[in-house]
Amino acid sequence: MISVFIKFLIGMWYAMLFNDSDKEEMVELTEDAKKHYQKEAVPRSEYNNYPTKAVAIIVYGKDKSQFWLQQRPMKGRKPGYWEIVAGSKSIEHKDAEQAAKEEIKEELFDYDKTQIPEKINLEHLGYLYKDTENPQRIDVYIYESGRTSFPGSDEVKQGKFVPETEINNLPDNIQLTDCTKHVLTKLDLIESRNDSFEDISEGGLETV
């Protein structure tokens, strides 16, 4: 009888120990952080130990009144949406400007690295904050490329230079990512199309 009771207690303890409802939620890391830390995801309580540096870059062309918009692939996050150059990098040994330059190289020149300029000069406009559970600072830059096109990459389905005067009259089938809408709105390049970026703090672009 005693042995049965002991087995019962052991069974209850085992069930409590391995109950799925008690397992902590896992949070997926950015692609760059996965490569750097060799991990796909981490417990939510540890997520802030794997910080990322978020950047957004407005890329102007040879005609400085036109800036680059690119369409995301039809898979992954925001499939088919259009955006300015943007992304997140592990901040291990990297600052925001370095992260921005790497995004430009990866998204615009990956198909032909021989075309990467010897110098990529960026102008830092300021930053925005995403007010989410894991707040994220987004540093915003301008890159005057002097180009009419780019080689491209697997991260971009297609891209084109858009005149600033036409940005508010884009076809309805061109959907902009929230980050892109918010950055362009803050710079008075577009009128806000909706309230879909409530997660980003109110106010103008902050400067450092």
CATH of the domain at 64: 3.90.79.10
Please say if the pLDDT value at position 4 is more than 80: no
Q: What is the pLDDT at residue 20?
A: 45
Q: Is residue 199 part of a domain?
A: no
Q: Is residue 139 part of a domain?
A: yes
Q: What is the pLDDT at residue 196?
A: 35
Q: Is residue 111 part of a domain?
A: yes
pTM score over 0.75: no
Q: What is the pLDDT at residue 207?
A: 46
pLDDT tens-place string over residues 60-119: 999 888 999 999 888 777 889 999 998 876 655 468 898 899 999 999 999 999 999 999
Q: Is residue 27 part of a domain?
A: no
Q: What is the pLDDT at residue 172?
A: 78
Q: Is residue 206 part of a domain?
A: no
- Look up residue 146 and give its amino acid: G
Q: What is the pLDDT at residue 105?
A: 95
| Average confidence (pLDDT) over 129-135 | 58
Q: Is residue 7 part of a domain?
A: no
| Average confidence (pLDDT) over 177-206 | 60
Q: What is the pLDDT at residue 21?
A: 44
Q: Which residue range is the domain that position 135 belongs to?
A: 50-186
Task: State what percent of residues in the chain have pLDDT above 70.
Answer: 66
- Strands in 23-131 per DSSP E: 26-28, 41-43, 52-60, 66-71, 82-83, 85-90, 122-130
Q: By C-alpha distance, which of 93, 110, 107 is closest to 53?
A: 93
Q: Is residue 86 part of a domain?
A: yes
Radius of gyration over every alpha carbon of the chain, rounded to an integer in angstroms: 22
Our count of domains for the chain comes to 1
Q: Averaging pLDDT over each range in 10-14, 128-132, 144-148, 173-177, which range is the top one?
A: 144-148
| Contact residues for 7 (Cβ-Cβ < 8 A; gap 6+) | none
Q: What is the pLDDT at residue 184?
A: 85
Q: Is residue 166 part of a domain?
A: yes
Reduced to 3 states (helix: H, G, I; strand: E, B; else coil), residue 203 is: coil
Please say if the pLDDT value at position 202 is more than 50: no
